[in-house]
Amino acid sequence: MNQQKDRFTPRMFRRLLIPSLASSLGLAFADMADAVVVGQRMGAVGLAAINLSLPLYSVLNLFMHGLGLGGSVRYSQLLGEGKHREAVDCFNRVMQAGLLVSVLIAAIVNLFPRAVLGLLGTTPADGELYEASKSYLCVIALGAPLFFLSYMLNYFLCNDNNQRLASVGFLLGNAADIVLNIVFVLGMGMGTFGAAIATLLGLSATVFCYLPGLFSKNHILRPAVTKPDVRQTFSCFKTGLATSSQHIFKMFFLLIANDVLMRMAGADGVAVFDMVQNASYLILYLYEGTAKAAQPLVSTFYGEKNDVAARHTRSLALQWGVIAGGTATALICLFPGFICGVFGLRGEALTELGALALRLFGLSATFAGVSIILESYYQSVNEERSAFVIAFLRGCAVLLPCTVAFSFLSLRGFWWMYPVTEALSLTLFFLWRRLKKRAGAFDLARVYHSTIRNSNEDISALTGGIEEFCERWEAAPQQQYFVTMAVEEVCMAIITNAFGNMKDGEIQVTLVALENRDFELHIRDNAAFFDPFSLHTGRLGGKEQVDMDAMGMMVIKQQAKEFFYRQYQGFNTLVVRI
């Protein structure tokens, strides 16, 4: 199978892309709206109070994205291998761990608020700033379980073929957050307390929208009592850590950059920096949305050992990421004065500095976007080290030294830190990949791919290739017979019962020779909903007509070690292990 003949992957990717980009834009606008609304009402004190609370968000993001992303990657891989019970157990174990961590965070902050705020940089002597920070921080920490539920469920729903619900819930929650911020902060004058309450109510709306996805008969995800497994849960967190660790790196970057700019230009320099950070959401969130659309497919294909389709998905993600992110970058770079005005930057000198900073950030955006997509791809194929190297280079090893080095230049020269950091990070990563030896990778010679059309003649050629593949990997005679029979019977059942008069019917077959001498068969077709194992046949000698396709399915079910069917991203997907 090659990419030119692979018509399944692009259609599956497009189904995920639009909802994911919509969610990303909603999140970007919600994040920017918080800064605009609180700043308009409370000025520097409100913005400072929220800024002092950002380290708490970094800690929340570290764990909820680490567990959510890593757990959902493993969930998709298990479903790709046909292990749906293990996948459900994985979901419940990760959710248990997430809720436990969130409760601990909420308890620590609310039991010791003065000590925590002291670490963040404010004491009771600061008066209004301390009280505003305390009101915001304690309420946000109290809602830590809502943060974990919202973001972690979003990851799992996207990997459970329920991306539409994930997108709708996310958008509704963000819309509620924006509206309630306006009502509580601007309308009722509730200050940072109102902003925090609006955030938690928005998260509650999101979680409420997600609940039907846990009890749907058409999906696999569901709550269940599951025995904790510390090793598996930590393994999931380790997978997600490559991405979530960047939030800790970002915390150090913000502290250094704010200190540098305060010394260089005072409040004006920090204001421009905050504006660039907020404007970057419109660009980078689109790249992250594209990566999020690709992740469930890459994880599924990795579970199927379908390296061709996984790489095809990566190519599509890079292509569409550059289109979406590049469009946003062009708009911001063409109209920087308008962006400065939205964030309240006034005056010719300040607007000119803001425009320069935005355009220099725009030079870095494509490099950053490619890094984001590659990082997600390597996580999805269990190459955590490569994912971590990307995150570590652009979030710490290159970023922090560049920030310090460019602080010795003029204020206008400081902003070159953005393109230099991203370009250098990506270059160093590619050099590291060339020098690195990939250990423990699955031998792709053990994988057989083929795509056939709606034709009985194609089945003959397919079974011939299957027989040769089984012989090459020393299948037992009986095992070879049943593998070939399974391929032939399933494909015939699809052509006869599902395709009908379809002229563009296609069946994608992937056969994997596992190292334990089992053979794992993955079959995907583009017919309407059709489960070959649901076929029924009458009893021999009875009045009902005997369905030979159903007889074949019955034999396969008896001989198979495992079999699993689901409809995934608009296509029927079948896994049989023999």
Q: Determine phi and psi for 486, rounding to 5 degrees.
A: -60, -45
Buried b (16+ CB within 10 A) or exposed e, 125-135: ebeebbbbbbb
pLDDT over 70 at 441, yes or no: no
Range 318-330 average pLDDT:
94
Q: Give the DSSP letter of residue 394.
A: I
Percent of the chain with pLDDT over 70: 90
Least confident of 108-112, 313-317, 495-499, 534-538: 534-538
d(CA 104, CA 298): 33
In a 3-state reduction of DSSP, which class is residue 566?
strand
pLDDT at 538: 46
Q: Which residues are paired to 567 by β-bridges? A: 572
pLDDT, tens digit (0-9, with 9 covering 90-100), for 196-249 = 899 899 999 999 999 988 887 777 888 888 888 888 888 888 888 867 777 888
CA distance 425 to 419: 10
CA atoms of 237 and 244, how far apart (whole Å)? 9
Condensed to tens digits (0 to 9), the pLDDT of residues 241-300 reads 867 777 888 778 877 876 787 678 765 776 677 778 878 888 999 999 999 889 888 888
CB 323 within 8 A of CB 364: no
CATH superfamily name and code, 446-577: Histidine kinase-like ATPase, C-terminal domain (3.30.565.10)
338 vs 568, higher pLDDT: 338
For range 181-196, the mean pLDDT: 86
d(CA 463, CA 475): 15
Q: Other CB atoms closer than 10 Å to residue 124's CB: what's the count?
A: 11
pLDDT of the residue at 102: 94
- pLDDT the model gives residue 207: 93
Mean pLDDT of 519-544: 68
Could you give the angle at which helices 128-142 and 113-120 cross, rounded to 10 degrees? Answer: 110
Judged against a pLDDT cut of 80, whether residue 553 lies above it is answered with no
Task: Tell which wins on pLDDT, 90 or 277.
Answer: 90
- Please determine, for residue 537, whether its predicted confidence score (pLDDT) is greater than 70: no
In which band, very low, low, confident or very high, does the pLDDT at 427 lie, cut at 50, 70 and 90?
Answer: very high
Residues 6+ apart with CB under 8 A from 151: 64, 65, 68
- Amino acid letter, residue 473: W
Structure tokens at 156: 């799992």
State the chain's mean pLDDT as an integer.
83
CA distance to 438, 466, 557, per residue, from 461 (Å)? 34, 9, 24
pLDDT digits (tens, 9 = 90+) for 375-421: 999 988 888 888 889 988 998 899 999 999 998 988 889 999 999 99
Summarize pLDDT for 134-175 with one digit per residue, the tens: 888 899 999 999 999 998 999 888 888 887 888 888 889 988
Which pLDDT score is estimated for 548? 57
Residues with Cβ < 8 Å from 17, sequence gap 6 or more?
Answer: 290, 293, 320
Which of 27-41, 89-103, 349-363 is least confident?
Answer: 27-41
Sheet holding 519-525: strands in order across? 447-453, 506-513, 519-525, 571-577, 562-568
User: Is 90 exceeded by the pLDDT of residue 360?
Assistant: yes
3-state secondary structure of 519: strand
Q: Which of 20, 372, 375, 315 is nearest to 162 (CA)?
A: 20
Looking at residue 345, the DSSP 8-state letter turns out to be -
Burial class of residue 433 (count of CB atoms within 10 Å of its CB; 0-12, 13-18, 19+) = middle
User: In this model, does residue 546 exceed pLDDT 70?
Assistant: no
Q: What is the CA radius of gyration of the chain?
A: 27
Q: The pTM is what?
A: 0.75
- pLDDT, average across residues 45-74: 81
Query: Among residues 535, 529, 566, 456, which one has the least CA distance to residue 161?
Result: 566
Burial class (CB in 10 A: 0-12, 13-18, 19+), 552: buried
Provide the token pair at 548.
């030979």
3-class secondary structure per residue, 425-488: HHHHHHHHHHHCCCCCCCCHHHEEEEEEECCHHHHHHHHHHHHHHHHHCCCCHHHHHHHHHHHH
Four-CA torsion 172, 173, 179, 180, nearest 10 degrees? 150
The residues with which 511 forms a beta bridge, in sequence order, are 448, 521
- Pairs from 386-392 (Cβ < 8 Å, separation ≥ 24): 386/429, 386/433, 386/436, 387/242, 387/243, 388/241, 388/242, 388/245, 389/429, 389/432, 390/242, 390/425, 390/429, 391/242, 391/243, 391/245, 391/246, 391/249, 392/245, 392/249
Which residues is 261 bridged to in the sheet? none
pLDDT score of 354 more than 90:
no
In the structure, what pLDDT confidence band is assigned to residue 540 with cuts at 50, 70 and 90? very low
Examine the pLDDT at 187 and tell me if it is beyond 90: no
CA gap 415, 411 in Å, rounded? 7
pLDDT value, residue 2:
36
| Overall average pLDDT of the 325-352 stretch | 85
**Chain centroid offset of residue 240 CA:** 10
Residue ranges per structural domain of the chain: 21-244, 245-442, 446-577
Chain Cα centroid distance, residue 159: 9
**Is a pLDDT exceeding 60 seen at residue 4?**
no
What are the residues whose beta carbons fall under 8 Å from the beta carbon of 265, sequence distance 6 or more? 272, 411
More confident residue, 102 or 486: 102
Nearest to 561 by CA among 508, 512, 521, 510: 521
Question: CB atoms < 10 A from the CB of 380, how many?
Answer: 29
* Alpha-carbon span 455 to 450, nearest angstrom: 14
Residues 368, 387: Cα–Cα separation, whole Å: 14
Position 46 confidence tier, pLDDT thresholds 50, 70, 90: low
